[in-house]
Chains A and B, each alone.
Chain A
Amino acid sequence: MIFLRRQLPLLITLVTGLLFAAQYYVPHPASEQMLTSATKWLQIVGGFALILGVTSLFHQHAVKIRRQEAGWGYSLVLYVGMLGTIAVGLWANGKESVEGTMTAFGWIYNYMMVPLQGTMFAILAFFIASAAYRSFRAKSREAAVLLVAAVIVMMGRVPLGEYLIPLSGDVSSWILNVLNSSVRRAILIGVSLGAVALSFKIIFGVERSYLGGGKE
């Protein structure tokens, strides 16, 4: 049992980890073919894994409806929305329009999903404003520098800003291209080294906590 739960997964991780790390250095068509096949398998496994997710989702909301917990009406909306969309999608064969005529599935996509997703993204503008008002205070010298840079970039990125302060466009471009790029590169170098180190630890079985099941 310990072999199946511990050693076998670690062995699979080691072998596949080394194999696919080596794949990067091998330009042979067989190596490319192996990568393509593996990614296709991953997609298939991912597809089946969705069943896990949907089961969890249905189970959780079914319990809420059965127990009539607070907000159980939302769970009912989820069931109706999900099953309704699946039924309509299957009926329309996944097509949003057939010979120029919009299907019911297309109607759901265009008049429900598109505006709802657009609304969620648009809320971002409002939240940026409220977050800026609440938190963007010159509490220290560093915060003051950030504040000035933010104001210049905000001015320089819109026509009105460039109209009012003509230099703001060039200065904001310099901030983005030079200061911003160099800082991001520094973060990126640190992140990449961290990711490579973590990958090494996982491949060689040094880091195992992601497997669950504790230490032997």
Chain B
Amino acid sequence: MSLSERMLKIDRRIIFLVIGLCTLLPLLYPVGLPIKISSEVRGVYDHIESLPEQSVFLLSIDFDPASKPELYPQAIALLRHAFRKHLRVVTMTLWVSGTGMADQLVTQVAKEMGKEYGTDYAFLGWSPGGQAVIINMGQDLYSAFPSDYSGKSTKDLPVLDGVRSLKDVGYMVSLGAGRPGVEEWYVFGKDKYKFDLGGGCTGVMAPGLYPLLRSGQINGLIGGLRGAAEYESLIGQKGKAVAGMDAQSATHLAIILLVIMCNLFYFSLRQQRG
């Protein structure tokens, strides 16, 4: 067996090791390369910036712990921005397995920003039904969520004063790792009840949501860890996403080098075989 043949049939655990090292080393020794802001991330940022104080900002944390590394930093950056703008922040989730994580996330950021539960923000928790919850919220928010995550009646929450349905929401962002996620919020929410919608998703899903962005169905998109890092840079509070960008840079470069290598071996093998 020639070298090219052997290299093309290399044990995939060696590739795993290369990727593992490319992730680990930059996390231990960060470089901190500058991050360029894309127009899709700026779309979400600019819209939140344009909202007047006390506007209602609805954040749906539609992911579970599996997508935490990419979407958690997005959620933190968005919440920090909304709290800093003194918006009334209403949070919820359509993914039952993400409920505990979402509660921790919202509580942690609110505490850090010195916000008070009930007055400045609320976490409505999870309600069964997926997309049906969105339709219910479009008709009557209190019927979809009669009580919040801690069991308090939502009608008694001052943060929801004047909010009856999705039509009364100033801006809504869904951070989705699948279904229900951004697309469902558009089809069953924005299309029917007309409110401004932005999105966030995992890096794998982002290319699939570009058609929504291009047609103006969503006014901004935060894609993957890169999107989170851009948002962190925009609000000037660098966190885990910016730290993770070095690791992502290294792994992307490693994959590109691997692809180039495999093609070199492939062509050399083809030449050998004539």
Contact = CB atoms under 8 A, between A and B. Distances in A.
Interface residues of B, number: 60
B97 interface: yes
Contacts of B64: 117
Contacts, number: 148
Interface of A: 32, 35-36, 39-40, 42-43, 47, 96, 106, 109-110, 113-115, 117-118, 120-122, 124-126, 128-130, 132-134, 136-139, 147, 150-151, 154-155, 157-163, 169, 173, 176-177, 180-181, 184-185, 188
Interface stretch (B18-26, B48-56, B73-81): B18-26
Contacts of A109: 100
A130 B132 contact: no
A181 B211 contact: yes
Given A114-B101, A129-B15, A181-B211, A157 B68 contact: no
A134 B65 CA distance: 30
A132 B258 contact: yes
Interface of B: 10, 12, 15-16, 18-20, 23, 33-36, 38-39, 64-69, 97, 100-101, 103, 128-129, 131-132, 135-136, 139, 143, 203-204, 206-208, 210-211, 213-214, 226, 245-246, 248-256, 258-259, 261-263, 266-267
B68 A118 contact: yes
A126 B214 CA distance: 31
15 contacts: A32-B139, A106-B100, A117-B64, A117-B68, A129-B18, A129-B255, A133-B10, A136-B259, A137-B262, A154-B252, A159-B35, A160-B253, A177-B213, A177-B214, A181-B211
Contacts of B252: 154-155, 157-158, 160-161
B103 A96 contact: yes
A138 B268 CA distance: 12
Contacts of B135: 32, 35-36, 39
A138 B255 contact: no
B259 A151 contact: yes
Contact of A155 (B136, B246, B256): B256
Contact of B210 (A42, A150, A176): A176
